């Protein structure tokens, strides 16, 4: 093994390796035994350094303790060489963090592959994040930027050039502009705005918003007292109330519906308004009419229920048409399922491919609300089993899924049991990447990994398509495996997120499924009681499998026809 590869190993261990070099190292690990041996030897070296550093840290602590509280009548405490110099130990602490991280990932890699024949090359040794020494025992806390949530909406039409948000999105600082519809915005302090379009707002913080134009109703509970709505040159300070605001280019006014507000700035600085009182902040004061016709929470809820029912009905019409598509291998429109034991295959391929509910898979609201159905897989035993015999020329998988969290290393969408030649696995990796894989050669020893029984398959990853900000939101996911076109394309909400060629080494002409599971992977063919925990923590309410490579236009159409309210 040359010095260049040896240097790459140590760069990987100390977290300084570049992306390109890491790919080179990973290829070398997969292809050359001497590189793997050197890698394991290097990891062992770091492990030894870790133990030495840990023992030395204990000496430092005892030394510091002794110096801070010397025993009466004793001489100056004995010191190890350099132990009172924190800078001199920086590299050792770093080595501790790096070695623990690499040991964990390395162990998972080597031993996981040996024990998991389904993933002979499902490996990514790349460190997911830099771990500081003080973070070794406590994972970094997830962070999101935002001050409010777009909780509900009806008929919302975003303005050209504006950021388009969906229901459930966290709203950061900045402008919201929409030309029509109604939006309900919940600020983190507890205040709620019902905003009628057209409107333009500037979200400033958890406690304040500026109205550029539009009409809104602000409901402020006691916990949010002090919430500020800015309009014209004034600030409307809530003192426990519900009030309405209207702003246009040439005038602005406020009216208290219930409670009290204080005005600061502008021509009414210092005024207090109570229930039923109104004031002009800008423009003519001749119009004394009340602000009428503003949407209420009840109005929004009623309109939303009507719109949701209409959208659900439109999807059911589309679903009926889709079920007649002769290219379908199987089609499970769970959202309109009425059974608590199975989900019928609505494709022409018939009931032999029905899905059977097994274990604690439970009904939940689907993407169209309580009128529709989804299936929750949030416990390890939850799964839907099916059997799909036959041979196929291509695969397109498409589903509507709600991911609550990625609890496991692999989180299943649809997986063939045995993972034999031509069989698919469709999953979400713990880091949010979608991964679609095909078994190429299930002969033990054909794989690229070090395990003697490793088999050859190929995983096609996307960049991360999910993070905690998308928790609980419905996503339309699709994966297209096209042997004839030698391409694998993947999609999220109708937009293509990855495209990768199928190289000769991983080309599979004939595809199969056999027995398989939705939302889990039970490995019923295993010869031990242990099974990999890969259940999806979330819900699925529609899954379609085609014996054809659908085009990007086809995928976009599936998304548009099936998207729920607020998308």
pLDDT computed for residue 320 by the predictor: 96
Write the pLDDT tens digit of every residue in 458-498.
Answer: 999 999 999 999 999 999 999 999 999 999 999 999 999 99
99, 43 contact by CB (below 8 A): yes
User: Which CA distances in Å does 12 have to 6, 34, 125?
Assistant: 10, 17, 9
Residue 139: partners with Cβ closer than 8 Å, 6 or more residues away: none
User: Which CA distances in Å does 363 have to 336, 373, 374?
Assistant: 11, 6, 6
Residue 67: partners with Cβ closer than 8 Å, 6 or more residues away: 77
So what CATH class is 314-562?
Answer: mainly beta
The pLDDT of 364-376, averaged and rounded, is 92
CA atoms within 13 A on the CB side of 126: 14
- CB burial of 507-519 (b: ≥16 within 10 Å; e: otherwise) equals ebeebbbbbbbbb
pLDDT computed for residue 338 by the predictor: 75
**Residue 254 pLDDT exceeds 70:** yes
**Residue 243 pLDDT exceeds 70:** yes
Write the pLDDT tens digit of every residue in 77-99.
Answer: 333 333 334 344 444 444 444 44
260, 239 contact by CB (below 8 A): yes
Tokens 């009681």 identify what position?
529
CB atoms within 10 A of CB 350: 11
Do 148-284+291-297 and 314-562 show the same overall fold? yes
Backbone angles phi, psi at 110, to 5 degrees: -70, -50
Cα 458 to chain centroid distance, Å, stands at: 23
Least-confidence region, from 79-93, 192-206, 400-414: 79-93
Write the pLDDT tens digit of every residue in 3-62.
Answer: 777 777 777 776 677 766 776 777 677 666 677 777 777 766 666 565 555 555 554 454
CATH architecture of 148-284+291-297: Sandwich (2.60)
CA atoms within 13 A on the CB side of 375: 34
Cα 538 to chain centroid distance, Å, stands at: 11
**Residue 198 pLDDT exceeds 80:** yes
* Collapsed DSSP state (helix, strand, coil) of residue 510: coil
User: Which CA distances in Å does 514 have to 217, 228, 329, 352?
Assistant: 56, 60, 12, 12
Residue that wins the pLDDT comparison between 89 and 184 = 184
pLDDT computed for residue 267 by the predictor: 86
Average pLDDT, the chain: 82
pTM as predicted:
0.70
Domain boundaries, the chain: 1-33, 148-284+291-297, 314-562
The size of the chain, in residues, is 567
- CB burial of 542-558 (b: ≥16 within 10 Å; e: otherwise) equals bbbbbbbbbeeebbbeb
């Amino acid at each position: 093994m040359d010095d260049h590869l040896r240097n790459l190993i140590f760069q990987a261990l100390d977290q300084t390796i570049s992306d390109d070099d890491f790919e080179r190292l990973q290829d070398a690990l997969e292809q050359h035994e001497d590189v793997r041996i050197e890698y394991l030897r290097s990891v062992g070296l770091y492990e030894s350094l870790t133990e030495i550093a840990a023992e030395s840290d204990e000496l430092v602590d005892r030394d510091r303790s002794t110096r801070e509280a010397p025993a009466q009548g004793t001489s100056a405490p004995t010191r190890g060489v350099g132990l009172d110099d924190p800078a001199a130990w920086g590299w050792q602490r770093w080595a501790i963090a790096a070695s623990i991280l690499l040991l964990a990932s390395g162990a998972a890699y080597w031993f996981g592959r040996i024990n998991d024949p389904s993933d002979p090359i499902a490996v990514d040794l790349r460190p997911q994040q830099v771990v500081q020494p003080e973070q070794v025992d406590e994972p970094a806390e997830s962070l999101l930027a935002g001050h409010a949530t777009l909780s509900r909406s009806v008929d919302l039409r975003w303005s050209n050039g504006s950021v388009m948000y969906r229901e459930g999105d966290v709203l950061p600082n900045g402008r919201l502009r929409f030309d029509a519809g109604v939006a309900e915005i919940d600020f983190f302090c507890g205040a709620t705005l019902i905003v009628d379009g057209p409107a333009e707002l500037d979200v400033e913080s958890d406690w304040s918003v500026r109205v550029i134009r539009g009409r809104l109703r602000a409901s402020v509970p006691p916990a949010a007292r002090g919430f500020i709505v800015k309009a014209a040159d004034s600030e409307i300070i809530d003192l426990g109330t519900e009030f309405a605001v209207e702003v246009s280019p040439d005038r602005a006014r406020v009216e208290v519906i219930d409670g009290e507000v204080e005005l600061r700035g502008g021509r009414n600085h210092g005024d207090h308004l109570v229930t039923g009182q109104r004031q002009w902040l800008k423009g003519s004061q001749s119009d004394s009419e009340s602000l009428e016709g503003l949407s209420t929470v009840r109005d929004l809820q009623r309109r939303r229920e009507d719109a949701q029912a209409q959208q659900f009905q439109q999807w059911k019409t589309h679903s009926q048409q889709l079920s007649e598509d002769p290219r379908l291998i199987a089609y499970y429109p769970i959202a309109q399922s009425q059974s608590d034991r199975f989900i019928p295959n609505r494709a022409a391929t018939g009931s032999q491919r029905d899905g059977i509910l097994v274990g604690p898979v439970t009904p939940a609201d689907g993407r169209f609300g309580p009128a529709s159905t989804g299936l929750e897989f949030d416990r390890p035993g939850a799964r839907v089993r099916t059997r799909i015999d036959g041979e196929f020329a291509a695969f397109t998988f498409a589903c509507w899924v709600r991911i609550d969290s990625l609890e496991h290393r692999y989180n299943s969408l649809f997986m063939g049991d045995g993972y034999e030649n031509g069989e698919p696995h469709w999953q979400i990796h713990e880091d949010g990447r979608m991964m679609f894989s095909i078994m190429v050669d299930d002969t033990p020893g054909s794989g690229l990994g070090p395990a003697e029984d490793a088999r050859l398959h190929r995983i096609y990853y996307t960049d991360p398509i999910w993070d905690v900000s998308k928790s609980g939101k419905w996503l339309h996911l699709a994966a297209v495996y096209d042997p004839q076109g030698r391409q694998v394309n993947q999609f999220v909400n109708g937009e293509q997120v990855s495209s990768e060629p199928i190289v000769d080494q991983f080309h599979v002409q004939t595809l199969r499924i056999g027995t398989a599971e939705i939302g889990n992977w039970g490995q019923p063919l295993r010869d031990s009681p242990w099974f990999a925990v890969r259940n999806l923590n979330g819900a699925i309410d529609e899954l379609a499998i085609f014996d054809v490579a659908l085009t990007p236009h086809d995928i976009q159409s599936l998304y548009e026809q099936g998207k729920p309210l607020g998308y």
